[in-house]
Structure 1
Amino acid sequence: MSKINFGNIVEIIKHDFKASFSNPIVTIVLIAIIILPSLYALLNIQACWNPYENTNEVEFAIANLDNGSTFEGTYLNVGNEIVKDLKNNTKFDWKFVTEDELRKGVHDGDYYAGIIIPKNLSENIASITSDNPKQAELEYLVNIKSNPVATKLTDTGANTVYTTVNAKIVQIINLAAYGKLGDLKDGLSSGAGQLYSGGSQLSAGAAKISSGAGQVSSGVSDVQNGASQVQSGANQVQQGSSAINNGASDVKQGSASIKQSASDLEKGSQQIQSQVDPSTLPEPMKQYVEGNIKLANGSGELAKGSSQLADGSVKLADSSSKLANGASNVAGGANQVAGGSVELAKGSLSLAAGAQMLSGSASQALFSAAGALSSSANSLSSITGINETELGDYFYSPIKLDRQEVFSVPDYGSNVAPFYIVLSMWVGAIITCVMITPGTSQGTKYKPVEMYFGKVILFVVMSMLQAAVTISGAYILGIYISNSPLFIFSAILVSVIFMILVYSIISALGQVGKGIGVILLVLQISGTGGIYPIEIMQDFFQTLYPYLPMTYAITLIREAQLGVVWSNYLPALVVLVSIGIVTIIVAALIKQKADKSSKYFEERLKESGLF
């Protein structure tokens, strides 16, 4: 690159500013160029100031055909309730018409959209709690051809009606379920009472078991004492039985002797009687003989009696022995009974202890369950005590969305202002560069680089004036601005960078540069995320997004205007300034090489008479 003559650059600058005021027509055109970009931004912002708050002029037709129904003995007409709610709704200009009027009006474009409430709407809604529920339906008609934005707005209106109906359905279902809570509460209360009563009875039974166990334990002591006495008596009986057995043996032997003696006496008596006739004997002898005969006979009788006594004694001895053996068996059985009674007592005590533990645990469990049921019943009681009207309102909207705005903006116009302000600056740069020629060094004494830097000053000044008008219009319009100094600085910087960028392209490439400027404008409208999130755009625009100057310019204006986050602002500032610097360097190099070719290209276009 040859040496630059700064005097030539100053000369070009002076010439341009002198020419700007030498002719009133030129001055008027320049003023128009300065004002036009701001109008592009401000008019669009004003048009979008509160578009979603002015929908009350959009006509939306409603045809209510609902015949109503009965729900749990109460008359229900959801269609009438919807109409009542919409009459208090100012979001749209609701028109309540017949079905035929609605269909014809939507078809002809008199209404953007309409909803037909069917005859069986309430009936179908009421059937939701029955065994055969039927889905409720609304007929939504929308004229897509009438207006692309209007149809999106009417979708919001349709959603309002749809939400109202769904909320009513939820309200009915929940109120029905709420009615069942009362029955459940009564059942829980009754069950809690029964469990508590059962626990009391079980505790009382446990006390009786414990008392009976004490009596069994006392009775066992008596049985053990009696068994000891029975055992002692049995021992005495056994000893007496032994004596009786011994006596019986002696009796048997004496009885045998008596029997033998009695037999001898009886034989002696018989001999005396056979040999002596007492009647023949003298008186003293007679009495003696008769006395011996009587004695012999008496001895026989005595012998017989003694024999019988001996036999009886033997029988007595046998019986006494059996008695002793029986007494011994009784004593043994008594001991067994006593032992069994002890085991019985131990088992009874164990049973009593187990019964006490069981009854204690069971009664405690019953009391706990009764308490839990009672608590649940009390909880349900607090719920079921709510006024059903208030509860219905709650079910109609059970959740409230608490919207917390970060960097709150008072109006939609202020929200879209960063996009339109930046866009107007790019448009202003194109208008300026098209209306004012960047100049060519061909046919002049100036070098291409001198021409580039000499002319750029006028364009930079024009961009600053355009930014000043736009900034003033933003304040007049009432656009929300969080940080005024930063906003003013950012707006001027963006306008200057854009002017340098567009001027450089056109200055270096001539008519081709103008086409490139317009193409960049088109791409940046959709590819910078100014209105719609870049994430919903096509992949092509998402790819271009980080390479477009307006991406960073919008970030600068948005942060300065709506609330600065320096971690967003500073990177965008660096990128945008870098774009400006790189553009100047590259454009100067290109103009040095391509200035002659661009001049030739422009002359050929002029020769056609079309350019």
Structure 2
Amino acid sequence: MRNALTILRDDLRAIRTNTITALIVFGVLIIPLIFTTFNVLASWDPFGNTGNLRIAVASNDKGHVTDVGKLNVNLGDQVLSQLARNDSVDWVITDSADAVEGTRSGDYYASIVLPESFSDDMLTFYLDGAEPTRLDLYTNQKKNALSSSITSKVATGVTNNIDESFAEVLSDVGLGLLSSLDDYLNEDNTQSALSTIQTRMQATSGRLNSASATVRSLTGLIDGAIPLATSADSLLARANTSDSTAPATQSSSPVNLDATLRESADALSSALTAASSSLGTVSARLDDATGTNALNPNELHDLAKQVRSQAEGLDTARGALAGLALPTTQFDTAAAQARAMADSLDTTATALETGAQDTSAAAQRARDAVDRASRAVEDARTSYTTDLKPQVAELSQSIKAVADDVATVRSDLDAARANAAGADSLASRLESSRDEVGALADKLAAQSAEFERINSALDDARQTGDLDKLARVVGDDPGLTASRLASPLGLDREAVFAVKSFGAAMTPFYTTLALWVGALIACVFIYANAERTYRRGETAMSRNAIFLGRFLTLALIALIQSTLVTTGLIFFVEIAPQHPIQLIVVGWVIALVFMMLVYALVVTFDNAGKAIAVVLLVIQVSGAGGSYPLPLLPEFFQKASPWLPATHAISALRAAISGSYEGDLWRELGLLVLFTIPALILGLWLRRLMDGYHERLSAAIASTKVMAS
């Protein structure tokens, strides 16, 4: 360490005793101060001078002729009049040709041209299909990069101003009309006129309501006629179906019905005869059941089965006559007695099988059942001959007469179907008429309700004074209320970590660049490698001592540069930092780290190290996030930014100027100091590997007789 201090004393003595050296060092010391001060002051408040920005505005608006009074309204002239009184920008009122040509020549930074249909578009905004009015903006992007963005913002402001003014005019007219209407309505003549209007509206509403009720009653009549028409349509449809299926249902015709009736009567007569015969056979067998020819149970079961079959035949013949008003009671009795006799025979056979009854008693019981059945069958035959058969003959004659009538009706139905073919049914036509009449009734009722609503609204306005209330809200100055309606919202801006101005916000970026440039200039003008002086003779020093000794000189220069820069910003530029002492300390750390990095590069790589330091400067200008937010930069710079020392230097300076958040100042300083580790490794150890490179590079430069070694 003593050797390093010796080098520092020698350097200070040389600066003090050599005027040229002192002047060079003085220049090295003040260059960062000049760089920072001029840049911060130049960008102190650029947007406060937009009044010097020349922007042309022209109107090709042909105006709009209103429907009321045929007035020609030209909103373009009103816009020009408003802009002429606006001093936020140097507005130049001119024609469209000069505006466009002046923008191309650079006389104007931009120009705004209002189209011919400006008034038409603005005053017909409420029509269906209307589109927003378009302004033509011409910007000269060659003149200045930032001016294009400013002029675009100005054009947006003009658009917003036009929108706000237009809304204000509309509101002013509407509210003024409201106030005038209130004054008019409060006059005596107007009150009388309103009473007359209300009376007529009530009468009109009553008439419309009565008409609606009358029309709706007509709808009820049509509804009552629809079922009749529907029934008629159904009869015709069924007649049509019956006629179309006639070939498949010939058996249901009156003629075939007569034949069927006769056949059924004959079948009933045959069934009675067969039943009587079967009963006779059973009676004869029972009479012969003596001695060796005694009754056999199996034989009795067979006889019962036969008799039951005859009873079923009677039921079948009787069923064919069902539904006809004919005397068939005797036939039902005969069938029932036959089944009872069959049951008696089965019971007798069962008794014989079990021995519960002797043969004579069983035979007698069976005879009694046969006698009862025989009497019932004879009564049925007598009823058939005396009652049923004559009535069947009469019914046959009636059926023939019906057949003749059906033929007549069928011909009439054929004529009705022919008339209805190819046209809508009566029911459908009635339903359509009902719907139309119902719709008319609804419209009349709606109109009546609308008149009643208007009448109620007028009455409420007269009784409650609603218009008076609105007029009091509007006040004596409708324009003031209109302006509030046009712009109802206000914006309260509250800065977080506030800075004094735009230039103060750019201070971290310019300070970082100034300190890096100061370190680079110091290593260029002050010979970085002192080994040629201190490694000769008996007092030769180690390479590390020489490295640290010369760095002490450069570090002192860096500290003075940083102190001049930060104090100049505080006291001369007056950026008003939140923590002035922290700003000075942060400047010292940044200057020392930057000096170590540049010094290590120059000592290790000589002239190539200077070039590397310049390349790093270029990269850090764009990638450190000093002027533009990192998310707006290309992906390469976003990824490279954390590995650049300027990134952390700028963040630390921002914390010192605007205020720290959760220790971000010290965190960024810690990350910045870490960059000294690779610089020390490079300058203390890896530099020895570059000796051969230095000799070859010096020889190559000397051989050119042009380059300075």
- Please give the range of the TM-score, normalised by the shorter of the 2 chains: 0.5 to 0.7
Deviation at 1:459, TM superposition (A): 0.3
Change (3 A) 1:526 1:562: same
Residue 86 of structure 2: aligned partner: 89
Cα distance change on mapping 1:507 and 1:397 into 2, 3 Å: same
Partner of 2:561: 466
Question: Where does the alignment leave 5 or more consecutive residues of structure 1 unmatched?
Answer: 1-5, 195-369
1:555 equivalent in structure 2: 651
Summarize the alignment of residues 101-116 of structure 1 with structure 2, pairs less than 5 Å apart: 101-116=98-113
Aligned counterparts of 2:542 and 2:503: Cα–Cα separation in 1 = 47
Q: 1:514 aligns to what?
A: 610
Distance 1:450 1:170, change over 3 A: same
Q: Aligned to 1:39, which of 31, 34, 43?
A: 34
Matched letter for residue 519 of structure 2? A
Q: 2: CA distance between counterparts of 1:601 and 1:381?
A: 96
| Residue identity matched to 1:386 | V
3-state SS of the aligned residue for 2:495? coil
Structure 2 CA distance, aligned partners of 1:16 and 1:600? Answer: 29
Gaps of 5+ in 2: 186-197, 203-455
User: Could you tell me how far 1:395 is from its partner in structure 2?
Assistant: 3.5
Q: CA deviation at 1:567?
A: 2.7
Deviation at 1:179, TM superposition (A): 10
Structure 2: how far apart are the matches of 1:14 and 1:391? 78
TM superposition shift of 1:8: 3.2
For the Cα contact (< 8 Å) 2:110–2:151, is it kept in 1? yes
Match of 2:486 in 1: 396
Number of the residue aligned with 1:121:
118
Q: CA deviation at 1:578?
A: 2.3
Aligned-partner residue type, residue 407 of structure 1: F
1:537-578 deviations in Å (ceiling 9; x for gaps): 000000011111011111111111122224311210211122
- Could you say what secondary structure the match of 1:129 adopts? coil
Change (3 A) 1:134 1:400: same
Q: Secondary structure of the residue that 1:404 maps to in structure 2?
A: coil
Superposed CA offset, 1:157-190 (max 9, x none) = 22222222233455567779989999xx99xxx9
CA, structure 1 residues 567+72, in 2 after alignment: closer, same or farther (shift >3 Å)? Answer: farther
Aligned to 2:75: 78
Moved more, 132-141 or 452-461: 132-141
**AA partner of residue 615 (structure 2):** I
Q: Tell me if the contact between 1:449 and 1:591 (Cα under 8 Å) persists in the aligned partners.
A: no
CA distance in 1, matches of 2:32, 2:575: 17
Residue in structure 1 matched with residue 518 of structure 2 by the alignment: 428
- Judged with a 3 Å threshold, the aligned counterparts in structure 2 of structure 1 residues 575 and 134 are, in CA distance, closer, same or farther, namely closer
Q: Distance in 2 between matches of 1:18 and 1:557?
A: 34
Alignment of 1:99-498 (within 5 A): 99-131=96-128, 133=130, 135-171=132-168, 385-386=473-474, 388-441=478-531, 444=536, 445-474=540-569, 475-498=571-594
Inter-partner Cα distance in structure 1 for 2:662 and 2:56: 49
In structure 2, what is the Cα distance between the partners aligned to 1:448 and 1:607? 28
Q: 1:503 aligns with which of 581, 592, 599?
A: 599
| CA RMSD after TM alignment | 3.4
CA contact (8 A) 2:29 2:561 kept: yes
Go from structure 1 to structure 2 and tell me whether the alpha carbon gap of 1:44 and 1:504 turns closer, same or farther (over 3 Å shift): same
Are 1:142 and 1:151, in contact at CA under 8 Å, matched by a contact in 2?
yes
Following TM superposition, by how much is the alpha carbon of 1:127 offset from its aligned partner in structure 2, in angstroms?
A: 0.8
The separation in 2 between residues aligned to 1:27 and 1:378, in whole angstroms, is 91
1:52 aligns to what?
47
Alignment CA distance shift 1:144-1:10 (3 Å): closer
Structure with greater Cα Rg: 1
Q: Does the 8 A contact of 1:448 with 1:595 survive in 2?
A: no
- Check conservation: 1:13, 1:457, Cα contact below 8 A: yes
Provide the C-alpha distance between the structure 1 equivalents of 2:98 and 2:163, rounded to a whole number of angstroms. 26
Secondary structure (helix, strand or coil) at the match of 1:54 reads: helix
TM-score, length of structure 1 as denominator length: 0.63
1:607 aligns with 2:703: yes
Q: Distance in 1 between matches of 2:104 and 2:531?
A: 63
Deviation of 1:517 after TM superposition, in Å, equals 0.7
Give the C-alpha shift of residue 595 in structure 1: 4.1
Indicate conservation of the 8 Å contact 2:175/2:482, yes or no. Answer: no
* SS of residue paired to 1:128: coil
What are the Cα deviations for residues 230-263 of structure 1, in whole angstroms up to 9, with x where unaligned? xxxxxxxxxxxxxxxxxxxxxxxxxxxxxxxxxx
Letter in 1 for 2:489: I
Separation in 2 of the partners of 1:601 and 1:427?
Answer: 25
- Give the total of aligned pairs: 426
Following TM superposition, by how much is the alpha carbon of 1:434 offset from its aligned partner in structure 2, in angstroms?
Answer: 1.1
Distance in structure 1 (CA, Å) of the matches to 2:15 and 2:60: 72
Q: Is the 8 A contact 2:530 2:550 kept in 1?
A: no
Alignment partners' CA distance in 1, 2:176 and 2:51: 40
The match for 2:633 among 532, 537, 544 is: 537
What one-letter code is carried by the residue in structure 2 that aligns with 1:11? T
Deviations 1:320-357 (A, max 9, x none): xxxxxxxxxxxxxxxxxxxxxxxxxxxxxxxxxxxxxx
Q: The residue matched to 1:94 in structure 2 has which SS? A: strand
Shift of 1:603: 4.0
CA distance change for structure 1 residues 33 and 172 in 2, over 3 Å: closer, same or farther? same
Of residues 493-502 and 125-134 in structure 1, the stretch that sits farther from structure 2 once superposed is 125-134
- Supply the distance in 1 between the matched residues of 2:620 and 2:129 (Cα, whole angstroms): 57
SS in 1 for 2:58: strand
> For 1:35, what is the secondary structure of its paired residue?
helix
The secondary structure found in structure 1 opposite 2:627 is coil
Question: Once the 2 structures are TM-superposed, how far is the Cα of residue 42 of structure 1 from its aligned partner?
Answer: 1.1
Fraction of identical pairs, as percent: 26
Deviations 1:276-305 (A, max 9, x none): xxxxxxxxxxxxxxxxxxxxxxxxxxxxxx
Match of 2:308 in 1: none
Structure 1's 439 and 164: CA in aligned 2 closer, same or farther, altered over 3 A?
same
Q: C-alpha separation between the residues in 1 aligned to 2:468 and 2:597?
A: 75
Q: 1:36 & 1:519 partners in 2: Cα distance?
A: 20
- d(CA) in 1 for partners of 2:145 and 2:102? 18
